[in-house]
Structures are given as C-alpha cells and as structure tokens.
Chains A and B, each alone.
Chain A
Amino acid sequence: MAGYINYEYYLRQDYRNLQWCPGCGDGAILQAFFRAVHELGISKDDMAVVSGIGCSGRISGYIDFNTMHTTHGRPVAFATGIKLAAPDKYVVVFGGDGDQTAIGGNHFIHACRRNIDMTIIVINNNVYGMTGGQYSPTTPSGFKTQTTPYGNYDSQFDIVKLAIGAGATYVARESVIKPVVLTKYIKKALQHKGCSVVEVISNCHINLGRRNKMKSPHAVLEWIKDHTVPLSRANKMSEEELAGKVITGEFVEVEKPEFTESYYKLCESLKGE
C-alpha cells in the first residue's frame, strides 16, 4: 500500500479555509496521518475524526471523514460516545496540549484508564497558539509567552508519562521533524486495540518561537531537534545529560481488556433476560 498517495482524496474539496500560519507543523502531522490511513487501507466511511478547540481543532474541518469539531478539551468525551455506540468503527481524536492536558485533562486520563479503543493524537506545540500565545501545561521553564512575560515559572506535564500512568495501552512520541517515524507510530496506534496515545511535538514559531528568539519555523524545528532524544540513545544517557530533554519513541505497547468489547460481551451474556 505504501508509495503513491493522493492527499486530495483525504482532503475536503469543498472547504479549505485554512487557518494555519505558513510553516505550521499541523500540515506535516496531517500528512503523516493520511499516509497511515492510506497504508492501512482504512475506508474514510469507517472512521470518525473528532477534534477540540485550537489550531489542531481545525483539522476535522479540512479532512473528508465523519468529522466533529467539538468544544475546548472535550473531543475525547464526544469520541467516547461515538465509539461506544459504533464499536466496530475507527475513532481518532486530534487535540492540542492545552486541549488535552489542561481543560480536557480529565477526559484524556479516563479514556486511557478505560482503554477504550481510540487513537488520541496530541499535537504539542507547547503553547496556546490560536488565542495568541499564552503558556500551556507543556510550555518549557523560562519561556516567554503572553501570560508569562517574565518567563515561565510554572511546572510541566509529561504527556507520555501522563498517558502511561492513566493506563493507555499504546503510547508513543515523535516530533514533526521525523514524519516517517511519526507515520509508523500513527499506523501502529490505529491498529492497536485499546486506547492509543501519540504525542507529536510540533512547532509554533508565531506564538511561541517569536517571543523566544526563534522567529522562523526552521529555528523552532532546530530547537525541537536539539532537545529531543530517541529512546534508544536516552537509555545510554545519564540523568544529568537528559535534563531538559524530551525522549521520543514507543514507550508502551501492551494488551488489556478494551472497554467496548467488555461492555458488549456483557450485553451478549444478558441476551434473553
């Protein structure tokens, strides 16, 4: 299935009011997602894509699937309803770092705990981009944003650790600078039975980079390259060497009872009562 892919096939032809800034990482992530869907041969009719609010939230509008652009932080909750009511369909959630770890943190951890079969793609650009660049739960220490004008003094979430701690059964992280690896992880997440989380480290040069001496997409991508370390290399590094670094790779891939399967097994056992 690999090879030629007609991206237009996955994009809506009658709506393309693109809200993203030139150089935004969202496009590369979407490309990786399309490639994963294409290579797995999943029908567009059999997949619902649900998104929250923010730059990443706009993804659902541009793509030709069964799509729902929901409220800030809550796409996982809407997706849970869709998945439970249509358990044989693919359900994918796109959310940002603010969407999934701040306002929607509760839904995120509970989807992981339930191990409900859906793929949550968290686009982490370390900032609230659409609202003009306020700090998020993943903004690095010291970074200047519109609400940390003197530098960020708040602490960060590690999305991978959060997902693992909450019980997700496939957890991976990659950045936009490695789209081939990212495609592989999204593919594995889509194939995985259970709650799969893929964190994608992305660039927001407009609302994060610009205020932190990284004005161009290239500068932010360089920064991402410098502070990410593949798991294989990180395993050989000391704690001091890993300070301030973000580890990429596949962290968890386990089997656990999946929520909708457990539920419908129960229904089956009650038939005729």
Chain B
Amino acid sequence: MSNRKGVYTGNELIAIAAIDAGCRFYAGYPITPSSEIMEVMSKELPKVGGAFIQMEDEIASMAAAIGAAWTGVKSMTASSGPGISLKSEHIGYACITETPVVIVNIMRGGPSTGFPTAPSQSDVMQARWGTHGDHPAIALVPGNAKEMYYETVRAFNLAEKFRTPVFILGDEILGHMNTMVELPDPSDLDIVERKIYSPKQGEKYKPFDMSKGDVPPMGAFFRGYRFHLTGLNHNEYGYPTIDRDMIKMQQERMMKKVENHVEEIVKNELFNMDDADYVIFAYGSTGAAAKLASKMLREKGKKVGVFRPITIWPFPDRQIDEVITSGKYKGILVAEANLGQIIYEVERVNRGRLPIKDLLKVDGTPVSPTDIVSRFEEVF
C-alpha cells in the first residue's frame, strides 16, 4: 500500500473512505457544497471497476443507488439540503424496502436555496424525519477530517448491518476544510461485507423474514431466486398486503431493528468532562469549536467539558441521561448552527433537571470557539 499521507478536504476523504469501505456504485447530481465527493468518485470508481453515474436529478440519483444496491453492491449518493429534500421520497423507499445505502448531506444554509456556500446544521431534523411516515433513522455527524473518513466507513458498516439508509451529515466547513491526514491501509479497516443470502434447495427467499431477528437477510437480484420489492406495506415475501397484523409487525420490526440496537450505533466523544462543572453539547464542526472553547474557558478558570455526539440518530438518550443524573454538572450549553433543533432533543432527555441554554447561529458563518466562550460567559 502506497503512503497515503496528504492534505485532503473532508469531501475528498468521504469519497476515498467510501471506496475503501467497498462502495462500488455512486449516483449523484451536482450541488454545492458537496460536488467534490461526486468528482472524486467519477475519477476513482472506474479505476476499481465500480460504477459511477451522474444522473438527471437528485431524485434519480437516490433511485439509482437503491436499484444498484439490490444487485448486490454497496452504493452511495451525496448532496446538500435542497437535494436531500428531493431525494426524500426515495429515502422512504429505501427504509421500507430495507435497502442498505449511504447518503451524504454536506449541509448548507436553508431553507430552499438558502446559502449554498455557507456552513449550517439546519438539516439534522430532516435527517430524522425528512421522508413521510414512520421510519428508522441512522445519522452520523463527524466533527473533523479524520472522522469524515472513519465515520464514512462506519456508515457503510451500519447500512450493511441494519439494512437501512445511513446518513453522513457534514457541513460546508468540514467538506471544504483542508487537513493533513494519514489514511490507513484499507486492509486494516473493519469492514462489514455484504452477505447475500442463498436460499436452500426448494426454500423461497423472504426479503422481509421475521423469523431471523430484527434484520432480515439481504438478497440480491440475478442470483437464481426471484423476489419482489415494493414501497407498499408488504408481507415477508415482499408482496403487497392489507393484513393488519402483518403491517403492524413489519412496521414495528423496521423501527425496532434500530431501536433495539441503539448501543451499537451510538457514539460520543466526552472531552474535558471528568472535572467539569458545565457541559457544552455540540456536534459536527460546532463540536470541534466547542472543544477549543472548552480549552479557552479553562484558561480563564472555568471548568467546562464537551459532550460531542458522533451519532446524532438514534439520539444518545442514555448517555445524556447519565451525564445529567451524575449530579456533577450545573448546566448545559447547546451550540448548533441552526435556530434550535437538537436542543429540543437534549431538553426531552433532560426533563427540566439542569438549566439548558442555547447558542444558535444562522448568519452563514460557522459557530466559532469565541462565539461559544462569550455565550457561555453570558449565560453561566
């Protein structure tokens, strides 16, 4: 393996990590600030015999990635807010057909066209509830260049393991920031390979089998057994159904396959927390700023720690509850680049036990360490 130490943008790291994780299909559509992911894919995928296609729109890119997944390949698409809005119907299709697929959202200002070249964290609730209907959600929020790489690898692993779409939420800062990174040898990575089910002689493959745990075995087209997929409520064989019990059981299993495995999916960084009096809760690029702010505040004699989720969905309820019930902390400052989204989740877990203050910013500039320091000094 050649030396892969170099200066990379976050978007480049996502693309390289995807290929290292075994992604062999990419469909996308140009959009700022995520286009570089597609550009790298267009250059690198043909070299490894993977498929790349620039589709006619965002809707089609999501569809093509799902279609490809059912031929047995790991697939991905990337976009930003407006594109994710367009993909949303098909994200629901991926949820109900339980298709492993990775979706990157390099967030920019919104709503609508918003501020294409500016960072934002205003799509975090969209990643949870963007498509209609009840559905599970997994979303990762890397906070630095290295995590853009490793969390992309993890996103593919989680998609395979739980047979569901997985979001990577970056933002313009993380996507475009240049950082010196030494990439690992891909053979050293823990990769969850696609296990394509092969039915026994005479056995009919059930793409939504309820007898094999929360996650049914993944099949693939053109393997000598044939099956059906539909966006309609379906039975174990994938055929449309109006059977009330079947609909209920399948819907609940689809949610539970994530709910029952939260501990395997949740990941947080606790920084300077051991002796802290106060907690800054922040994720993504704001999380990186919060760590610096914690250091700056400590220089001023204020013991402040950082709770930085790296998985935002499912939400780290238990871990936050532990922080709150420990009795060690006097308050939480939630910092995010939106007008208040994740703060309501923190409050839901907190149930009024600790004072929660906010730092919300939507002027197109990132939440900086000094923003956090001055807001902290203002409220605590």
Contact = CB atoms under 8 A, between A and B. Distances in A.
B226 A45 contact: yes
A81 interface: yes
Nearest to B97: A68
A68 B60 contact: no
Contacts of A15: 228, 237, 239
Contact of A86 (B221, B226, B230, B231): B221
A66 B51 CA distance: 21
A226 interface: no
Nearest to B46: A267
Interface stretch (A71-79, A137-145, A231-239): A71-79
Nearest to B53: A84
B200 interface: no
A266 interface: yes
Contacts of B67: 50, 68, 77-82, 85
A85 B66 contact: no
A64 B68 CA distance: 20
Contact of B64 (A65, A68, A84, A271): A84
Given A82-B71, A84-B64, A69 B221 contact: no
B89 interface: yes
Contact of A64 (B63, B72, B224, B226): B226
B229 A67 contact: yes
A61 interface: yes
Interface string B52-94: 1101110110011111111111010000000000000110010
Contact of A85 (B25, B56, B228, B237): B25
A215 interface: no
B222 A74 contact: no
A190 interface: no
A68 B70 contact: yes
B47 interface: yes
B49 to A, nearest CB: 5
Contacts of A69: 228-232, 240
Interface residues of B, number: 45
Contacts of A84: 25, 51, 53, 64, 68
Contacts of B223: 45
A109 B56 CA distance: 9
A106 interface: yes
Interface in A32-80: 44-46, 48, 50, 60-61, 64-71, 74, 77-80
B56 A106 contact: yes
Given A78-B63, A273-B47, A70 B93 contact: yes
Contacts of A273: 47
A184 interface: no
Nearest to A75: B63
27 contacts: A44-B226, A45-B223, A45-B226, A48-B221, A64-B226, A65-B226, A66-B226, A68-B67, A68-B70, A68-B229, A68-B230, A69-B231, A69-B232, A71-B93, A77-B56, A77-B64, A78-B67, A80-B55, A81-B27, A81-B53, A81-B75, A84-B51, A85-B25, A86-B222, A106-B57, A107-B63, A271-B49
Q: Which 4 A-B pairs have the closest CB atoms?
A: A81-B67, A81-B64, A77-B63, A77-B60
Given A14-B239, A17-B240, 18 more contacts: A44-B226, A64-B226, A66-B226, A66-B227, A70-B63, A70-B231, A71-B93, A77-B55, A77-B56, A78-B63, A80-B63, A80-B67, A81-B75, A82-B70, A85-B25, A106-B56, A263-B52, A266-B46
